[in-house]
Amino acid sequence: AIRMTQSPSSFSASTGDRVTITCRASQGISSYLAWYQQKPGKAPKLLIYAASTLQSGVPSRFSGSGSGTDFTLTISCLQSEDFATYYCQQYYSPYTFGQGTKLEIK
């Protein structure tokens, strides 16, 4: 099975900061990568698919990049509503998620 490793597992930041979360696949997955945001007690919400395509309705401060094995999610200017846990997911073969990155308020 393809293993997805996110880093960091957690970190603190302030509103207005630019933050980057990394996701690495144990083998090449082309651009078959999605990013989700999950808030406590809520279902995951799709942010990005195909590594860099923004889901409809998602603010443009979110962006994704990468292909092959290395991917990043960037939030350009953190807002209060962005503090959550973020997951990457590969959908190349078949589906596995990263362990999550918890973004907390500094």
Q: Which of 32, 62, 71, 86 binds other proteins (CB under 8 A)?
A: 32
* Nearest distance from C-beta of residue 14 to other proteins, angstroms: 26
Q: Which of 16, 43, 60, 80 binds other proteins (CB under 8 A)?
A: 43
**Is position 87 an interface residue for other proteins (rule: CB under 8 A)?**
yes
Q: Which of 2, 46, 54, 58 binds other proteins (CB under 8 A)?
A: 46
Q: Please report the DSSP string for 19-80 in residue order.
A: EEEEEEESS--TT-EEEEEE-TTS--EEEEETTTEEPTT--TTEEEEEETTEEEEEESS--G
